[in-house]
Every structure is written in C-alpha cells, then in structure tokens.
Structure 1
C-alpha cells in the first residue's frame, strides 16, 4: 500500500511539472518581455496568471533616451515636434542631460526662473503668447518707438515665440521647467543662440527717451517699470552695471549685458543684475 501511495505521489508531481512547462511555453516569456512588464498588473485566466504586456507607445517611451523623452514632454505642452527635430539636428550638444538644464548651475537656473517670472506678465505661472504681447505693449506704450520700430518689435516678438515655442495659440504655454529646458537648448545651438534675444535693442530704444543713444539711471528706471520692478531696484542695478561710472549705458553695453545674463554661469559678472533681483 505504501508503495502504491508513493507511485501516485510521483505521478502527481510529474503532472504538475508538465503543466508548469506548458504554461511557460504558451506564454513564451523572454527577457525583453520581462523588462517591459515591470510594474504591470497580472491578468488571470482560471488558475493561470499572465503579465499583460505594456502598450507599444509606452514600451517605445521606455526605450528612448532621456533627450527624446524631454522632447515628448515639450510636445505635450504645445511645442511642435517637427520644429524641435530641426533644432536638435543643428545642436552642438550630444548630451542626454539636456532635459530641464540638469547640467546647469543652480545660479543659472535662478536667473532663468527670474526671467520666466518677468515674462509671465499675468502671473498665472505660465508664459503664453499673450504674455509676450503684453510685455511688448508695455514698452511700446512709453511712446518712444517710431511706427517702423514698433512694427519691427511686434514682428520679432512673434517670430521669437514661433521659433522657440511653436504655434501662436492660447493653449500653447511654457512652464518654468520647460523654459529652463528650452533656454538650455538655446545655449547649445549656435543658430538659436545667435538669434536669441534680438528684441533687446528695441527695449533700449523704447526707454531711450531723448534718443541720445545712451540711457541714464532715470531711463533705466523706465526699463524696470516695464519689467514690473520698482525704481529702487533699478537704481541699485544701474550702479552695479555702470562699471565705468559715467552715469550712462550705451546700446552695445545694454545688449551685451542682456545676453550675458542668459549665457554666463559666472556669479561675479555684473550682468546678473540686469533683469532685477534673482528668484530663489
């Protein structure tokens, strides 16, 4: 009797092993499927459970490099993929740390957050094309730009938006993190870097009240007014950036300071004062 029971036990174990082999064979699980099935929920059919394979688009996202994932992020926020591909093809950077300026200093990131806050004219936490228009209107409303320069200014603002953020659309907006990513991308692209901030001369002409080709501390205060900043901050900043102490800033100096603010991570540069107190 004992021998019979042992035979029955061995036969039962063998049947279980055959069933297990059949299950494994039918699912055909390979190493790549296991990798793609992490964090997925099992689907059970009777007493057998299978791991549901991820949708194709999710598997593609997992297999893409960090820079490609960042581009997908931008596309979701209104940035056209076609334009972004063109920018990437011209880029000097092969770094996968392009996303959100991860390889930039915290000092540089603070500067970019400062400008994002200035360009966010309606203070809703996002930059839209409407914010760009409101920003431009503040300077044009000073009344110091002639009709030709005012039209050129409006056109350049529109062109800048389209080149950096895509369609002129009320639902196309730029978050702080996307602004950091995009400005980091500009610094790594010679073509974009050369064209970036070409509206700076128009800001100068708008506040150069007497059209002298120089701006005084009083005129620099007009500049800060249009940025939404107070006169006290303007006086302090002007005293710092007027390095030769002659009480005036030329167009060339103004544009260089404005660009250096974006391009340098050197905390000793006086250009850090150009766009007002830095945000934390």
Structure 2
C-alpha cells in the first residue's frame, strides 16, 4: 500500500496529466500531454518529433490502461499499479527507456538541463521553476543525465518511498499534503 508520501507525489503527477480535470486519465489526456510537450519543444504538428512523442505517450497510456483494467484510470488505479512496481522493475526500466528517448530531443544519449526543463514544463502544463533541481538529479555531476542515471531516477520516483532520493524531484518539487507536513 502506498505511503502518504507516495500518494502525494503520484497525485501531483496525476493531477498534471489530467488535462480536463475530470478525476480520471483517458487517452485524450495523453493526447493533450503529447500536444503540450510538442508545443514546448516547438515541434510542428505531424513532424517526426511529434510522431515520436505521440507513440511514446500513447504506448504509456496503453500500458497503464491494461494494468489498471479500465479506460478511465483514477489516481487510485495508478496507486494500485505503483504498489506493484517494486516487483516489476523490468517494466519500470522499459518505461524509463521510452521516456528517456522522448526527453532526449537531439538523440545524443544525454538529457540536458534544458531538455529536462521542457519535460517538467510540458508535464505540468505551465512553466515550472526548478531552481537547483537538475543539480540534485545529476548524480555524477557531469551536467547531463545519462540513460542509466535517468533510469535510476525514474525508478526512485515511481517505485521509491524516500523523500530525500534525487528521483523524487524528477517532475519538480513534490507538494506534500498538510497531514504529511504536520499542518
């Protein structure tokens, strides 16, 4: 069962993805995410980059839909999938690899701070100040994220429960619920 911290970070990502704010993820929400990301990157409609993003996002949608067993995936469905991730790390790695390919705009095998910023802005649907977040994510300090670094961060975010783990910041700072902060 997901901890309060896991619920907070997954709810934050879910809320950002729920484009129409109806409390459920559908294929249309993944289409909207693809469009936001395409726009943030300046990729023309119908371009190879647009098609690549759409393929990756809709692939993720189909995987999530199959795992949840419904065409209207709620945050509780997503949390149920997250509960299964520690025993399905191959699936987490597969998703991380697909996402790395989406984020690595120039296909150079590295994610730059600017590429990461565009991921977060697209995901959140608005410019998102990150401050020194990338420095925390860049565990080897070389100024970029390798596929291996990104995979570790992706795994920490989706399957982890450590608020101090660098991967917790992958989509930007996590807003913790009032109960978690003792408010």
Please state which band the TM-score falls in when normalised by the shorter chain. 0.7 to 0.9
Give the distance between the partners of 1:214 and 1:139, measured in 2 at CA: 18
Unpaired runs of 5+ residues, structure 2, are 178-183
Aligned counterparts of 1:207 and 1:179: Cα–Cα separation in 2: 22
Bigger RCO of structures 1 and 2 (CA < 8 A, at least 6 apart): 2
Structure-2 residue corresponding to 1:252? 148
1:162 counterpart (65, 68, 75): 65
CA distance in 1, matches of 2:159, 2:33: 22
Is contact 1:139–1:203 with CA below 8 Å preserved after alignment? no
Correspondence 1:232 to 2:129: yes
Once the two structures are TM-superposed, the CA of residue 278 in structure 1 deviates from its matched residue by 1.5
CA distance in 1, matches of 2:137, 2:86: 27
In structure 2, the CA distance between the partners of 1:247 and 1:154, relative to structure 1 (3 Å rule), is: closer
- What's the CA shift for 1:140? 4.9
- Write out per-residue CA displacement over residues 57-115 of structure 1, whole angstroms, 9 at most, x where no aligned residue: xxxxxxxxxxxxxxxxxxxxxxxxxxxxxxxxxxxxxxxxxxxx2xx321122122122
- 1:187 maps to 2:85: yes
1:202 is the counterpart of 2:98: yes
Counterparts in 2 of 1:125-164, with a 5 A limit?
125-140=23-38, 142=41, 143=43, 149-150=52-53, 152-153=55-56, 156-164=59-67
Cα pair 2:100 2:150 within 8 Å, conserved:
yes
1:98 corresponds to: none
After superposition, what is the alpha-carbon deviation per residue over 1:130-170, rounded to whole angstroms, capped at 9, x for unaligned?
Answer: 21232234345534855884575255234313322335xxx
Asked if the contact 1:139–1:207 (Cα under 8 Å) also holds between the matched residues in 2, the reply is no
**Deviation for aligned residue 1:263:** 1.2
Cα shift readout 1:196-228 (whole Å, capped 9, x = no counterpart)? 473433333333233221121112111112112
Find the aligned partners of 1:200 and 1:145 in 2 and give their Cα distance: 21
Aligned pairs for 1:38-57 within 5 A: none
List gaps (5 residues or longer) in structure 1: 1-100
Relative to total residues, which structure has the larger strand share, 1 or 2?
Answer: 1
> How many angstroms does 1:259 deviate by?
1.8
- Residue 95 of structure 1 corresponds to which residue in structure 2? none
TM-score by length of 1: 0.52
CA distance in 2, matches of 1:263, 1:274: 13
Is 2:4 the counterpart of 1:106?
A: yes
Call closer, same or farther: CA 1:155–1:223 in 2, change over 3 Å: closer
Highest CA radius of gyration, 1 or 2? 1
Question: How many positions carry a matched residue from both structures?
Answer: 170
State the 4+ residue runs in structure 1 displaced beyond 6 angstroms.
none
In the alignment, which residue of structure 1 is the partner of 2:165?
269
CA distance in 1, matches of 2:57, 2:77: 24
Tell whether the 8 Å contact from 2:138 to 2:145 is kept in structure 1 after alignment: yes
Asked if the contact 1:214/1:249 (under 8 Å) is kept, the reply is yes
